Amino acid sequence: MKEFIVNLWANSPTFFSNVVAALIALFVAIVTIRMNRQTSREKNSLDFESSYKRSDKVDAAWQILLSLLKKDAKKPMQHWGYNSVRQTKEARALMTVFNEWERCGNAIRHGLFDERFLYKVYGSTVINLYVGCRPYIKERQKVNPKIYANFCWLANRWIERRRYECLKGEWRLPMGLPYPKEKGRH
């Protein structure tokens, strides 16, 4: 092997410099591809945010949804998940909002959106939407267990992230055990 390398140096003195140049080019290409993917994720996330905020349909749906979430609402949230009321304006408003977030969850899950950016902008919205509308989601999942699966995945992921942030970077105790009172968690 040593002889082969010595002969290679003698017969092709530029071989080693070409190998080094090729490795540097490979490194630059990998870094560039990664940076382009991140830029693409950020652009996709900004496009989602822009289309979500500017959509009159989503805005109107949110107005209806907020009235359904009030404490003095006439019907419980799960009522709007029944098949018999699917075509009412309230149920359609819920579908509109949840379909947007299902699309977002799917894109995040497949690496098309920048999760950190969207979490900073919509973290509380998604968490509160999930918590407030869980009975509706469960009712819809009785008909189709996969419905809103990406939204539920996203909401649970962001809930865990929020818990981690609230614990100031400390990991939760196993099996949901409470922290000792001297840690200031109560």
Tokens of 76: 């419980």
Using the predicted structure, report yes or no on whether residue 56 has a pLDDT greater than 90. yes
| Number of domains forming the structure of the chain | 1
Residue 172 is predicted with a pLDDT of 61
**Higher-confidence residue: 119 or 15?**
119
Residue 108 exposure: Cα atoms within 13 Å on the Cβ side = 24
In a domain, 81, yes or no: yes
Of the pLDDT bands very low, low, confident and very high (cuts 50, 70, 90), residue 76 is very high
Range of the domain at 107: 41-183
Using the predicted structure, report yes or no on whether residue 138 has a pLDDT greater than 80. yes
**Lowest-pLDDT range of 39-48, 81-90, 129-138:** 39-48
User: Which one-letter DSSP state was computed for residue 169?
Assistant: T
In a domain, 90, yes or no: yes
Percentage of the chain surpassing pLDDT 90? Answer: 55
Tokens of 186: 């109560």
Q: What is the Cα–Cα distance from 149 to 130, expressed in whole angstroms?
A: 12
CB 104 within 8 A of CB 118: yes
Residue 186 is predicted with a pLDDT of 41
In a domain, 2, yes or no: no
Residue 161 is predicted with a pLDDT of 92
In a domain, 175, yes or no: yes
CB 157 within 8 A of CB 122: no
In a domain, 14, yes or no: no
pTM score: 0.73
